[in-house]
Structure formats: structure tokens, C-alpha cells
Copies of this chain bind each other. A is one copy, B any other.
């Protein structure tokens, strides 16, 4: 029996609750039952060591509250009191001080509990500290969904290529920017119009700064640098240029030369940057739409490419599920 708590019950938290409601019999057979014992958002919580019904929680949340009880004190204090095996931390990213997610992860790892998170704040601010704490407490810290949604880059680079000498990772790490650049390039739309379209389709937030100025991509570059290259950097160490200053002229010129502009995040021996770059049409990184894609280059294998949907309720939940498998397999 594995007991799980979900911290944060927004889109991704709800998606993962749905996954838990539909785990396959084969999975239960292999790893024993998975039991959701706690869930909370910023206002209310539900906790029952005998197990909660994920479907009931989803219905309750749809009606306004994840649980009947208000959170007393801070959510970290609440979590400190809970008994569980794995924390799924999916509260919103805060790159100021890591937000409440930082407290949740510290609480869980400090108590030797495994953590699965998609929260880019803690990972792009204090990664090595969190990894060190996990190691000391014999806990696992997994974060596939923090970089590129369903795209399995962390598993591929960190686990599958563990014996390799990885020399660089570069890729399209933000679907919103890629959608905008793709529309500008393909349809000749000016930036503002492509942005409005992205907002209407729900790909971009009302305040799109975090995406279009490359902050989201920079967080992911910092996480890759820390997790795959073993460095100790923060999002603020990443050289960053967004796409808001990309002109129609630049895009048209690229097109004439058989190239497209893409917002590329790159970690290399001496690189740590996010910037719009020219990519030849036909190159894997010239993809359109909201997909995320990354090319991992290594000594023996040569370049390995992975791609997948960069965001979305079930897509990100699937990344959490893959981390869950990894933790269960290691028990």
C-alpha cells in the first residue's frame, strides 16, 4: 500500500487525481494499491488515513472546495501533521522564494517522504539543497513534469542516458512561444495578433510576461542544468531574451533563407541561455504548434530527440505517473 498526498488541486492536481481513479489493474498487481490519503489547495483540505475517493474530491472541488475543512495555520504545518509515503507537489510556480511549494517539499523530504513535483520555483531556485536533503533522508525527488509536460526529457537524460557523457541539451521548452512564432512565420501575423490568438485559444495567460519573456523557459534550463549537469544555478543565472521583440521583418528574412525563428533554451559546457534562434526548416527543432521538443547530445549515442505535449491536465499528470512508477520500482 502506497499512501499519496496531493498538494495543490488546480488543473494538474485534478488531472493526477483522475489518473489515480483510473490506475490499471496491472499496476496495482505489480506495485500494490495506491491510496490517496490527503489533498489540499490554498483554502481547504481533505485527509483520511483510510483513503479518499479521488472522484469525490474532483466533484467537491468542482463545487468550490477540495475538502470540508479550512487549512489551519500554514499548509506546510498541515502537511507536517500528515502521514503518507509520496507527496505530489503541484502548487503554482513562484520564482520569488519558491512559494508554498518550497515549504511543502522541505517538509516532505525532511521527513524522508518521496516527492514528485512539477513546481519550477523550488527546482530552479534551490535544487542542490533539495537533492542533498533527499539523499540524506533516503527519499527520492522526481520532477519529470517540471520540464516540458509529457515530454520525458528528465527520464531520458537522467536515467536512460545515465552512463553517457551528455554534452548539451537544447530545445523548445515553452509551447506558448512556439505557437506564437509558428503563427507569425506561417501566417505572417504580427506578434500582437499571434499573441491574442494564443490567449483566445487558452495557450497564453492574460498576463503573458512569464511565457513570452522567456522566464518559463529559463526555469526549465536551470532545472536541466542542475539535474542533468549537476550544477548549482538558479533561474536568475540564465541569460535570457524573450520573443516580444521579435519583428515581422526578422521572421520574413528567416523565411527567405529557409529558416524559422524558435525560442531555444540551451544548456552546454559553457552555455546557459534562452533566446530566439534561427533553425533550418526540416531540422527537428523547427517544429510548429505547442509541442515541446529537446535534443540531448552525448558522446556515444549522438543526438537523441524527445518530443511531447508541453502542457495540459492529463499530459502533465502522465509525467507524474511516470515519476510514480520510477519511485515504486525503486522500493
- Give residues in A with beta carbon < 8 Å to B: 19, 23-24, 27, 150-152, 155-156, 159-165, 282, 284, 287-288, 293, 298-309, 312, 314-315, 317-319, 321-322, 324-326, 329-330
CB neighbours (8 Å) of A330 from chain B are 329
A315, B288: Cβ atoms under 8 Å?
A: no
**A324 engages B163 (CB within 8 Å):** yes
Interchain CB contact under 8 A, B284 and A307:
yes
Contacts of A299 in B (CB 8 A): 314
List chain B residues, Cβ under 8 A from A321: 163-164, 300
B308 touches A152 (CB 8 A): no
Which residues on B sit within 8 Å (CB–CB) of A305? 293, 305-308
A297 to chain B, nearest CB (A): 11
Q: Say what secondary structure dominates the interface of chain A.
A: mixed
Of B155, B293, B304, B307, which contacts A308 at CB under 8 A?
A: B304
Q: Are A152 and B304 in contact (CB under 8 A)?
A: yes
Contact A300 B318 (CB under 8 A): yes
Q: Are A301 and B306 in contact (CB under 8 A)?
A: no
Contacts of A315 in B (CB 8 A): 300-302
Write the nearest CB–CB distance from A157 to chain B, whole angstroms.
10
**Nearest CB in chain B: distance from A68 CB, A:** 29
Contact yes or no, B287 A314, CB < 8 A: no
A226, chain B: closest CB distance, angstroms: 16
* Least distance between A264 CB and chain B CB atoms (Å): 17
Which of A152, A161, A309, A325 has most B Cβ within 10 Å? Answer: A152
Q: Compute how far the CA of A298 lies from the CA of B308 in the bound complex, rounded to whole angstroms.
A: 11
Assuming the contacts A302-B308, A315-B302, asked whether A322 and B163 have C-beta atoms less than 8 A apart, the reply is yes
Q: How far is the CA of A164 from the CA of B321 in the complex (A)?
A: 8
**Distance in Å from the Cβ of A47 to the closest Cβ of chain B?**
25
A308 touches B303 (CB 8 A): yes
Q: Tell which of B159, B160, B163 touches A27, judged by Cβ atoms closer than 8 Å.
A: B163
Cβ contact within 8 Å between B322 and A160: yes
Residues of chain B lying within 8 A (CB to CB) of residue A287: 282, 284
Question: A282 touches which one: B288, B300, B301 (CB < 8 A)?
Answer: B288
